Amino acid sequence: MILGMMLAAGARLAALHPEPFALPGGGQPIGFDDMQFAPALHRLVVPAGRTGTIVLIDPDSHAVTTIGGFSATPAGGRGHGEGTTSADAGHGLLFAIDRTAKTVDVVDPDAGTILSKAPLGDSPDYVRFVASTGELWVTEPEGDRIEVFSLGKQRGDAPKSVATIAVTGGPESLVVDGARGRAYANLWSGTTLAIDLKTRVIVARWQNGCTGSRGLALDAAHGHLFVACSEGKAVVLDAGNGGVVLDTAPAGAGIDIIAFDSGPARLYVPGAKAATLTVFAVSESGKLSALAQAPTTEGAHCVAVDDRHGVWICDPAGGRLLHLHP
């Protein structure tokens, strides 16, 4: 079914039907969290929690590669507090956190090996590569801060902790906006922060209207910053105009991680409690229009989009992904 279909005013949402996609070490619960598509690697990057691996998926062939060496634990619950649950790409490398070991690791995706690692000051959540400064930013919510690491001159050098950014009441999620020289993160309720990438100073606090602020996604071309509200709505902020709220739209309850696809201008919003994925069209002015909905599974709280417009939803209970073809 075509994700970009337009619905007539007043029509019911189109029904989409994702297909299961098995993962190595799956079949039992895996605590997924942050999934991303890495354009430079042309791979979907899936940190697979308790399995101790990062899974790389080719969106064309669906070939699967695994990179091990992270902390592994026996299959248990669906939570994402163990192993590697967040990764980002840069300089031809992957940078991944290990929640169990409390480290940030530098990974060679071609060799499939961990080159080096550095200790973290507190339990990590997200890691993001900042291209303009050559730094890694790691969110540490239990410490109310973001820890900043510089990268060494040599490919395998361990990152070095150089600064911390105090974020009282957060941080939740992290998105880098290179065009505007900012990073965005949420407080747990009601507020989205804009942080200058060079000075590492919080330069703006925007009210997002969320009872529970969770994931973020960015349309860099238009400056639209999408905020996930766990109670069941998506909010669009104007990042280039003082964080003005451009629109708000309801979706399934239990929203956490969301994803934006710039090609067809679609926002994908999974509701973990509702067990649904809602697809929104996004206008150039930042207005949201619900197009379609797909059944997922209870606890499916994360989503990513590849460069072929395929949509990947995590299924923590099933230890697998759900895939919507473009």
The pLDDT of residue 251 is: 97
pLDDT of residue 74: 79
- Per-residue tokens: 90: 């840069």
Kindly state the tokens that stand for 73. 């634990």
pLDDT of 156 strictly over 90: no
The model's pLDDT over 262-298, given as tens digits with 9 standing for 90+, comes to 999 999 999 999 999 999 999 999 999 999 999 999 9
What is d(CA 223, CA 122) in angstroms, rounded to the nearest whole number?
A: 32
Question: Over the stretch 239-252, which tens digit does the pLDDT of each residue have?
Answer: 999 999 999 999 99
* pLDDT exceeds 60 at position 306: yes
Q: Could you give the C-alpha distances from 259 to 48, 159, 184, 280, in angstroms and in order?
A: 18, 28, 15, 11
Distances (CA, A) of 185 to 126, 239, 274: 10, 12, 25
Q: Give the side-chain half-sphere CA count within 13 A for 195.
A: 26
N-terminal to C-terminal alpha carbon distance within the chain: 8
Span 135-139, average pLDDT: 98
Q: Strand 288-295's sheet: what is its strand order? A: 14-15, 288-295, 276-282, 266-271, 259-261
> Which residues does residue 186 pair with via DSSP β-bridges, in sequence order?
172, 192
Q: What is the pLDDT of residue 15?
A: 81
Question: What's the mean pLDDT in 177-201?
Answer: 98
Q: ∠ CA(167), CA(175), CA(101), 5° rounding?
A: 65
pLDDT tens track for 202-229: 999 999 999 999 999 999 999 999 999 9
Q: In the chain, pLDDT over 90 holds for what percent of residues?
A: 88
pLDDT of residue 12: 66
Average pLDDT over residues 80-101: 94
- Which among 291, 169, 175 is positioned nearest to 226, based on CA atoms? 175
Is residue 171 pLDDT above 80, yes or no? yes
Q: Which domains does the chain have, with CATH numbers?
A: 14-324 (2.130.10.10)
